[in-house]
Structure 1
């Protein structure tokens, strides 16, 4: 069970609930250590006094604000003393329509839970009221020496807290991004129709399970290959920018390719559904011939996998089949795990 990263009191009107704040996401990025080239010596970051070169203990470090001619020193306790209530209170200032908050304001997401079962009724009341009204509670509070503007939402039976950027933190795109098209730049009617047609052809339902971190997989494959003294295939070069003169032809070709890909995907899916029964029969017959357990059982499983054709598929094709079969957790599976999960799904369906 996770521990809350912040505890305090959530209040709206005269109603208060002791709550805990929990991290809602976790990164799965592969982490590397820094080493000196040609050695296995770790490179570490240390807190060093730049004048003496000596390492400084954490307890001996204070915060200093550069005032120009000198530093203004601030102790950690002094920061807590100026807002003792704000660091333990999460008071909702009001409720706004969810659609009124521009997505650019959202930063990080946290789960908010009641401190104990004694407050479950009050917690559920606020969560359901927010869900029914499609509104978010807006509040500010202090956590880890920083004040946050937050939006409190209801999401599938739980309260979620989203930290928001302050208004003055949002940059003006017209000042930050060069070469933006102005009102004088217009697209032809034919090009506009084809662009809309391409968007319609590529329309899809949002399902986050359909996406997975392919770059992380390639990094993991690179590490395994280097361990084995092998090389890996390099990625394809990035696509070149579309010439304005060839825009219409590029749009037309994109629409045709998207349509062909859609038909091919549907064909594979229907063919896969038809062949599931045959694959299950092949696996069952092979396993019965080889027997259960021991060397014969292992040989049967290998032969069954070969007969099913799964071992000959690429990881992308395996993932496509796993998506069609609705296998949970497929986005984080390796190639062998996808094969095993597909085989298990076939056995269960039989």
Structure 2
């Protein structure tokens, strides 16, 4: 690492000389722009609007426009601002760490002792450890006066620049003012989902999937050239993404829990319990195993009848309104639901079962 700045922490009358290093770096693959016709590199030129000439960086100054007037500020004038010349990190407060709003954190810097003896550096670090507090500091860096928090990480002092209060926007969303009712069951299920996903945070277990796949794409392009097949490279169609499907909240919670628990049987059980909640006080007769039918039968009806045969009991209350019971109710000799009227032509227990399927279809239309 290369130091980007040198200064001293002013801790009361104690000065702690330090070198400042950027604590973070960008791991993104660097891409540049080219002309798609011939691959030529696209370059930007600093061109003057008045004379049209390309201007060297050394001839460029900064300016501020207000009320139609332009104030040009030279490099020397900007450097003459007192705060810009300060190389002091002034400690102004020691506060509990929980009082710092994470949204205010901006960029992190490592501080290394910059003196023959690191005693003053260690003293400040011990003071922060003993009091369990964070030092609030003010400093100037890169033409900007900054607010910062001084804390400890692995025996190293870390300076984290903070946004000023007026740089954090207020969250004002009228949609959040609506009265939303959350049932106890929804809260319990969401809490159970959180508990099923609870773990200690281990940053190294996460991967930047986009950068990995971008590297994969670049390597495949180098190997295959213009004959690259992105579907073959990634195993999915290019641009394939989520459908944004809107589903029932309770159903989404149940599916999420089932997925985390890895139980296919749990999914079936949750579906049955959901149906039971819908039945109210109605009693449903037990679903009998489906027998072979001489009429036309769809594959979905067959699958549903097998499910009904497995789940039917003497007091099968949820069977009345479940999807499986609606499909198989027409095959029961005691079926009384509307579904029995719709699918009676497919049941061997009705008088129309012996008739050809075509006649049954003409004689009885679906409700």
What TM-score do the two structures reach when normalised by structure 2? Answer: 0.66
Alignment partner of 1:31 is 2:33: no
Q: Of 219, 226, 241, which residue of structure 2 is paired with 1:237?
A: 241
Alignment partner of 1:249 is 2:251: yes
Q: CA deviation at 1:4?
A: 1.2
Instruction: After superposition, give the CA deviation of every residue in 1:285-328 in whole Å (9 maximum; x if it has no partner).
Output: xxxxxxxxxxxxxxxxxxxxxxxxxxxxxxxxxxxxxxxxxxxx
Query: For 1:117, what is the secondary structure of its paired residue?
Result: coil
Q: CA deviation at 1:178?
A: 5.8
* Whole-angstrom distance in 2 between the partners of 1:142 and 1:241: 49
Query: For 2:55, what is the secondary structure of its paired residue?
Result: coil
Query: For 1:113, what is the secondary structure of its paired residue?
Result: strand
Per the alignment, residue 165 of structure 2 pairs with 167
Per the alignment, residue 79 of structure 2 pairs with 80
Per the alignment, residue 196 of structure 2 pairs with 201
* Whole-angstrom distance in 1 between the partners of 2:19 and 2:95: 23
- Specify the structure having the higher radius of gyration (Cα): 2
Give runs of aligned pairs for residues 106-255 of structure 1, distance below 5 A. Answer: 106-118=105-117, 120-174=118-172, 177=173, 179=175, 181-182=176-177, 184-229=179-224, 230-231=228-229, 232-233=233-234, 234=236, 236-243=240-247, 246-255=248-257
* Whole-angstrom distance in 2 between the partners of 1:150 and 1:47: 35
Report which structure shows greater RCO (CA 8 Å, sep ≥6): 1
Q: CA deviation at 1:139?
A: 1.4
Alignment partner of 1:14 is 2:13: yes
Q: CA deviation at 1:183?
A: 5.8
**CA shift in 2, pair 1:111/1:239, >3 Å:** farther
Query: For 1:228, what is the secondary structure of its paired residue?
Result: helix
* Whole-angstrom distance in 2 between the partners of 1:211 and 1:117: 40
* Whole-angstrom distance in 1 between the partners of 2:261 and 2:130: 40
Query: For 1:139, what is the secondary structure of its paired residue?
Result: strand
The answer (yes or no) to whether the contact 2:108–2:161 under 8 Å persists in 1 is yes
Q: What is the total number of aligned residue pairs between the two structures? A: 254
Q: Which has the higher helix share?
A: 1
Give runs of aligned pairs for residues 260-271 of structure 1, distance below 5 A. Answer: 260=262
What TM-score do the two structures reach when normalised by structure 1? Answer: 0.69
* Whole-angstrom distance in 1 between the partners of 2:3 and 2:174: 43
Query: For 1:173, what is the secondary structure of its paired residue?
Result: coil
